Amino acid sequence: MRKKIKEAERIVIKIGSSTLTYQNSKLNLGRIEKLIREIVNLKNQGKEVILVSSGAVAAGYGRLKLEASPGTIPEKQALAAIGQGTLMRTYQTIFSEYGYQVGQVLLTQKDLTDRKRYLNSRNTLYQLLDYNVIPVINENDTVAVKEIKFGDNDTLSALVSSLVGADLLVILSDIDGLYTADPRNDDSAKLISQVEEISSEIEELAGGAGTDRGTGGMATKIDAAKIATKAGLPLVIANGSLDQVVTKISEGEDLGTLFLPDSGMTSREQWIAFNLDIAGKIVIDEGATLALTKEGGSLLACGIVEARGEFSVGDVVDIIDQSGSRIAKGLVNYDQPEVDKIKGFQSEEIKSRLGYQAYDEVVHRDNLVLL
């Protein structure tokens, strides 16, 4: 897989706040320029690069020279408004010195959970790539609130990688990769070079939040790895302060931690699987679980035990077994009150229960993704 990385043509690179800034939240211009030169070198090879950049809030904080870190959402949004301009001006200035243009793309969760906005976002990014422009993506922190935040740019970078059909995702942070223990507290911790499967043991190795200047730690990077690998692309987590880190990774060197890809999904399956706007849950019995996981069937009303939440026709719902384990996600054909009325009944009884029958299935197999 390290050798196959050399063949990656479309690469998403996420740079964290701790890589972009000093401890005082001022931009680390020397490091930024070095990383940009490496990205330019990839572009000169004919590769497509999409940059997911954190740092807007930190840059705004650094410009205002505040004494205390921002604690409230309005404070962070105001700092993002100030810092985002600084960040983009820096990227524009340095990239243009090497003959490349950048395009700012600010996203919220709704841009990727709404199907039309999802497709529009993808079309915009494709057009920027066609123009040979480097998209610079960040969460729209100025307007995003809890209900629409991705929560961190690690998750955003994985969703963007899925959105554009990338061949490789590289996440640059202030740590060398995934360790067997927290290297800040345990001198015996060893770097894990490759992860073949994200097991519960791997998840337990992830600690809490990272630095004060960032929003994520290793846990968010593991979440990103779940999305990326399910979408069929490899992910490398590496230290952004290392010399020639992007070049070495792109040339297949054993650097950081490589997460191996799972079998790929179609674009529609990826949108369903990674849709963060879950409207509700449907609890199913053992027979329905078997039908979905082993027989490739649709979800029928007869296998439903309970409908939770206030979902409507076309919403994405989690499908869970009676122990609470997530089995699948899918687009539902009936709203929650209707599912409550037809649960446990055969498909031919739907009309008598509801007065009409739009579909035989509550979730059709074509609109369902196993997890």
Task: For residue range 42-64, list pLDDT tens digits in order.
Answer: 999 999 999 999 888 888 888 88
Model pLDDT, residue 210: 45
| pLDDT at residue number 45 | 96
Give the whole-angstrom CA distance, residue 87 versus residue 136: 10
Does 221 appear as a known binding residue?
Answer: yes
- Residue 218 known to bind ligand: yes
Instruction: Give me the pLDDT at residue 112, please.
Output: 84
Question: What are the backbone angles phi and psi of residue 282, rounded to the nearest 5°?
Answer: -120, 120
Q: Whole-angstrom Cα distance, residue 156 to residue 164?
A: 12
CA distances from 210 to 213, 258, 270 (A): 8, 20, 28
Task: Tell me what pLDDT residue 26 has.
Answer: 86
Q: Is 174 assigned to a binding site?
A: yes
At 212 the pLDDT is 43
166 SS3 class: coil
pLDDT at 367: 92
CA–CA separation, 185 and 203 (whole Å): 18
Round to whole Å and give the CA distance between 340 and 354: 11
Residue 141 labeled ligand binder = yes
pTM comes to 0.84
Class of residue 292 by CB neighbours under 10 A (exposed 0-12, middle 13-18, buried 19+): buried
Whether residue 217 is annotated as binding a ligand: the answer is: yes
Rounded CA separation 371/151 (Å): 22
Structure tokens belonging to residue 237: 């987590």
Low-confidence ranges of the chain (pLDDT < 50): 147, 208-216
User: Is 161 annotated to bind ligand?
Assistant: no
Is 152 marked as binding a ligand? no
* Per-residue pLDDT at 342: 97
Any known ligand binding at 153? Answer: yes
173 belongs to an annotated ligand binding site? yes
If phi > 0 it is left, if psi is from -120 to 50 it is alpha, else beta; for residue 174 that is: alpha
Domains of the chain, first to last:
2-270 (3.40.1160.10), 278-370 (2.30.130.10)
